[in-house]
Chain A
């Protein structure tokens, strides 16, 4: 896997001087350069960044051409698509159906994309070549400035190449020495930063939790207005994910945040979840109705019209109640209280004699410890699932699995990226079938209740029969998901995934 180290250099330095220094002093070969404008885009909750990637629109700085959409992950370009127009894409709907496009869509889904940053860059690529003229270490110099030119940064990114670790270490050592002494360049940080290195990032658990909670608060804030407007139900979905992740973080923050506050906040977020659930459920039922009407039931589409009316009626009623709750004094007061808490340095300040046992500990130690505990729960509960297990058991396992995934994703920069990817892939695969099972069960129960209501209203028999057929179809989906569970769980519980998880939660020797 590619390891990446970045050196942030003081701005305002002449890029050509840096280029000369890299070629003359470090023997690097300049392989290419380009002047571009770059617009980094991501979902409101930064899913692409959380998965260790960057999605950007890159155009030639002279303004010619429509540019390319580039997805880079772990220092490797995974996808490059020539854009047909000059607009920045707002969704991933037009990126094709290649394996990589599907992978990216798997991360960001159909969520709206927003611009996270924009700058103008001079990109210089260098290689440390061996005696076969093969690049054994890759170095990128990014001389960026904001579009209005008000500030600039120069960053050197050193990328290892697989199979050439020794060469990478040697160059890194030389560069670190030079940048530390500041002989010809001044590093803004005393040492190189390593965003992808396990255990790197924040100093204490308290800081790590604060950053993770802040990031979730940003997600909720950025989706709040859209959620109230109701034009796109993905806003509500994203808002709820923000709420759920925050709840997991608070649940796992024992010993990091004082219990009195933590439990109070946890209650309030639980309430936020509860007041949004009926509307989300109504949205999901309507979405599912569209799927049914689109062909699952063929000729029965017209028969389902009364059901659609009932679903819409429900959705309007739920939304009205949710909007009232969202505008209530309790919600407004809590929003202020929460943002004040996150912004209050005093509330997060630490001392060595702090009664909070984990707050001052290194972040990675605490996070890894919590992840191990949740992992054990998932493993334990999963191993108990049999063909006879009741749906609640599978639902409980699904909740535990979500808890683990949220925890891993919230602190993703702390973990070894490749191991994280492996673990998440296996976890997600298991969650998919658990989700499919749960969705089918819930839909079937809801439809059965609605059928009863429609009978009470005197709705014609064809509608009820069409609903029954849908419930039968859902039973098949549920059964299929259940049959797939064992294979997916076995993969999650396999030796290779366990080994990846162990690597994930172990500090590298160099950091111990």
Chain B
């Protein structure tokens, strides 16, 4: 089982769209996939039409009172399940802090479903906190969407530096950054993309466009790879998934 976390310190960069669409693509290929919506805003949960409620809240999961598998809900797609968001996740840091080894807790919770899934996507809230650090410990790879702007690149570098500087927190983690919401009509995006292709060969080649059909996920309440599977955005997510597989 591979654990992939869609993460960025910044909000509104396409983390949830990435988690939802990649999870759908992976499930369509026959993999058993779970999305855990760790963001109390519950956007991934909304996209899958699931109610944002976990019995006992996040505390029941972190304390072990409730098994993670008991909180799993099937989505409308074969092989694709979700652990929904819960508003109590806003206190996730303090829930973890109550545990004896808070950094290792999330990994331990995920260990309980290790045989049940091929891929688990953690859709994370934008922040850098104890929860983020325990995600870094639990995940095999961080999928980091980056909007092609100087500020976003700077944030990515901050994250990269944090991971390099904290080997006691992060033991094995691949950083897979890729451009998201890239708009070819914007000169700044075009120039930066061109420049960074050369300067940052570690970033993934596939870029996710800024597209209306991705925004329409909220109307359809489905992954774009389901309701517009032949479109440019769906193709981009398929390509991104294939590229990620080569890096795992």
Contacts and interface: CB of A to CB of B under 8 A. Distances in A.
B76 interface: yes
B30 A163 contact: no
A132 B50 contact: yes
Contacts of B221: 132-133
B30 A80 contact: yes
Nearest to A160: B74
B49 A134 contact: yes
B76 to A, nearest CB: 5
A77 B51 CA distance: 25
Contacts of A164: 73-74
A56 B221 CA distance: 31
B73 A162 contact: yes
Interface residues of B, number: 18
Interface of A: 2, 76-80, 98-100, 127, 130, 132-135, 161-164, 422, 425
Contacts of A127: 76
B31 interface: yes
Contact of B30 (A79, A135, A162, A422): A79
B31 A133 contact: no
A76 B73 contact: no
B212 interface: no
A236 to B, nearest CB: 33
Given A78-B30, A98-B29, A100-B30, A135 B78 contact: no
Given A98-B29, A99-B30, A76 B78 contact: yes
Contacts of B72: 162-163
Identify the interface centre among A2, A80, A163: most chain B CB within 10 Å of its CB: A163
A127 B31 CA distance: 23
Contact of B79 (A77, A130, A135): A77
22 contacts: A77-B30, A77-B78, A77-B79, A78-B30, A79-B30, A98-B30, A99-B30, A99-B118, A100-B30, A100-B31, A132-B49, A132-B221, A133-B49, A133-B221, A134-B48, A134-B49, A134-B76, A135-B76, A162-B81, A163-B73, A164-B73, A422-B115
Residue from B30, B51, B81, B118 with most neighbouring chain A CB atoms (10 Å): B30
A422 B50 CA distance: 28
Nearest to A77: B78
Contacts of A425: 115
Given A100-B30, A162-B74, A76 B50 contact: no
Given A78-B79, A162-B74, A425-B115, 6 more contacts: A76-B79, A77-B79, A99-B31, A134-B49, A164-B73, A164-B74
Contacts of B48: 134
Interface in B1-53: 29-31, 48-51
- Scoring A80, A162, A164 by chain B CB atoms within 10 A of each residue's CB, the highest score goes to A162
A419 B221 CA distance: 34
B113 to A, nearest CB: 11
A134 B50 contact: yes
Nearest to B80: A76
A2 B75 CA distance: 12
A422 B72 CA distance: 19
A162 B74 CA distance: 5
Interface in B197-233: 221
